[in-house]
Chains A and B, each alone.
Chain A
Amino acid sequence: MTSPRPLPEVAAVPAAPASAEERGSSLAHDAWLRLRKNKLAVFGMITLAVVTVACVAGPWFIHYGYEDQNLDLGAAPPSAAHWLGTDTLGRDLLVRILYGGRVSLGVGLCATFVALTIGVTYGAVAGFFGGKRDAFMMRAVDIMYSLPFAIFVILLMVFFGRNIVLLFVAIGAVEWLTMARIVRSQVMAVKKMEFIEAARAMGFGRRRIIFRHILPNILGPIIVYTTLTIPSVMLLEAFLSFLGLGVQPPMSSWGLLIKDGAEKMEEYPWLLIYPGTLFSLTLFSLNFLGDGLRDALDVRSSKD
């Protein structure tokens, strides 16, 4: 089905965040300086910014709507009136790509947020409590890893209709497992440190210790992995749209445009090339940025 992703290569916890406040900011500053030196990551950041601004603001400056048809014109190659050409119904491709970008990026962010919430909570609880509860929870994750989830998502979408909220939840429910594993191992490393001991000694509740004391200290790996989850979520959304299970026409999404383009590429290649290029470029940027963040936040790799 969809190709499984390699296990994430995420950095270990920075050795000792002695006084969280002060070192935290200097760590972030160092990371930022390292990130700026990484050309691919900078390229990714700039591209993402441009694409996002274009998708959000672009449609206001174009006179066509995403469903405005011009059947007399039909599919026309790029011209002065339609910069990226039109599709078979005479709809402006540029505006459809921009609207599609809103949907694809929006789904990417929302579903990642779902995955993030489930994964971080689950992983933090398993890692913090440890023992039998942890063993049971992680066995469950292992078993879920071996389930054919892509098929489940397809079944869900086929059977329960093409509902966009369901899409977020289904994708999020698939993508949280790796996040849970990462957060758990990080929490296990941090919880043994002295400042957690101190927090306990001061009588803070477990919830407060997890969310106020532990999680802020493992934000680095969480941010890195979140950045890397967004592209895989967008890929899954595009795959579902390619199957006709995602966003429904006349609304557009990048997956849907690519599906249309692939069907008509012999006569109208621009319908495939433009959306395909932009989609790939965006995912490239997200992956470059995620990799760059990982290198920048990884204390180990800065030593060699």
Chain B
Amino acid sequence: MFRFITARLFQSLLALFVVVSATFFMMRAVPGGPFTAEKVVTPEILRNLEAHYGLNKPVWQQYLEYLGHLLHGDLGPSFKYPNRTVNEIIADKLPVSAELGGESLAIALLAGIGLGIVAAIRRNTWVDYVASVFGTAGLSVPTFVVGPLLVLAFAIHVGWFDASGWYTASDRVLPSLVLGFAYAAPISRLTRGGMLEVLHQDFIRTARAKGASETRVILHHALRGGLLPVVSYLGPAIAGILTGSFVIETIFQIPGIGREFVNSAFNRDYTLVLGTVILYAVLIMGLNLVVDVVQAWLNPKVRLE
């Protein structure tokens, strides 16, 4: 176990290094820089700006300096938000996205697992068909269609919610529903599949034969194995959901980190691009590791090598 975790940590560090380097050099290989779009920039000011941020040094030197700072946990100054560091921006905006993500994840797990279990128990009945259509909907109706339609219906026509903003508790409802729906659908499919696989097995028949109630059989015996596929999906899903969704945050005007992923690329804010990429990569790798450990705990058959 310990060897497995250290090996995986080492592997993740290597992957992270590749990600950072690839992103760094890809950005520098492209013509144009963070200040080329600025309106009134005389060559002198441009030179000063570049000197201030160290952009006039050779690329390899900038790269080494960046890595040096990174080792100290310093992601550098932002090029587009004056006087702000990337660390500050992330500390400022990640909690917003994480809150939205947490709420969405709760919705997704409750709705997805519940629906998946019911669909598996009532296989080939209308409940199952409804669940199957719902599960496919999550893969077929993108958030950038659902989001605006819900705004149109419940904010503009009915007027229950504000169309955008992130101030009151009611502002959380629509965005977390839309984001939660996107994740509930695959979770319901995976739960159904996992449960069906497990419900065929002998130990379930044994449990029933010993007189365990159906509720106990489902929730106690079957769910543990049935949720295995969901667990492996949750690694990347949680990373994605916590780091925010560009689409949701744009539609609902939420000041989260998801928008920065995309806007920083448009702005050529090199350090912020790298910072957000690193954040996402660290989260996804860490969570995948957690998922593997949890899976081994849920399923004694899976041995960590």
Contacts and interface: CB of A to CB of B under 8 A. Distances in A.
Contacts of B229: 6-7, 9
Contact of B145 (A2, A243, A280): A280
Interface in A266-291: 266, 269, 272-273, 276, 279-280, 283-284, 286-288, 291
Interface stretch (A16-24, A111-119, A165-173, A232-240): A232-240
B262 A243 contact: yes
B167 to A, nearest CB: 20
A154 B262 contact: yes
B144 A262 contact: yes
A276 B232 contact: no
Contact of A259 (B144, B149, B240, B245): B144
A276 to B, nearest CB: 4
Contacts of A3: 182-183, 186, 237, 240-241, 245
Q: Which of B27, B137, B141, B233 has the most A CB atoms < 10 Å from its CB?
A: B141
Interface string B241-259: 1010111000100000010
A146 B276 CA distance: 15
B152 A272 contact: yes
A6 B234 CA distance: 9
Contacts, number: 137
Contacts of B251: 262
Given A9-B193, A159-B26, A283 B152 contact: no
Given A143-B15, A280-B145, A155 B26 contact: yes
Nearest to A144: B15
Given A1-B258, A148-B280, A276 B136 contact: no
Interface string A1-39: 111111101000000000000000000000000000000
B215 to A, nearest CB: 23
A139 B18 CA distance: 14
A62 interface: no
A262 B149 CA distance: 8
B72 interface: no
B152 A146 contact: no
B156 interface: yes
B240 A4 contact: yes
B19 A283 contact: no
Say whether chain A's binding surface is mostly helix, strand, loop, or mixed: helix
A288 B136 contact: yes
Contacts of B276: 151
Nearest to B183: A3
Interface residues of B, number: 59
B77 to A, nearest CB: 20
B240 A272 contact: no
B27 A155 contact: yes
Nearest to A159: B30
A235 B233 contact: no
A235 B288 CA distance: 24
A66 interface: no
A273 to B, nearest CB: 7
A258 interface: yes
A1 B243 contact: yes
Contacts of A128: none
Contact of B30 (A9, A147, A160, A231): A160
Given A3-B245, A154-B262, A242-B247, 20 more contacts: A1-B240, A143-B14, A146-B281, A146-B285, A146-B288, A148-B19, A148-B280, A155-B26, A158-B266, A232-B139, A242-B144, A258-B144, A265-B151, A266-B156, A276-B148, A280-B141, A283-B141, A284-B141, A287-B140, A291-B136
In order of increasing CB-CB distance, the 5 nearest A-B pairs are: A283-B140, A4-B236, A276-B145, A159-B30, A262-B148
19 contacts: A1-B280, A3-B186, A5-B139, A6-B186, A7-B233, A146-B236, A146-B285, A155-B26, A155-B27, A159-B26, A159-B265, A232-B139, A239-B247, A261-B148, A265-B152, A265-B156, A273-B149, A284-B140, A291-B136
Interface of A: 1-7, 9, 40, 139, 143, 145-148, 151-152, 154-156, 158-160, 231-232, 235, 238-239, 242-243, 258-259, 261-262, 265-266, 269, 272-273, 276, 279-280, 283-284, 286-288, 291, 304
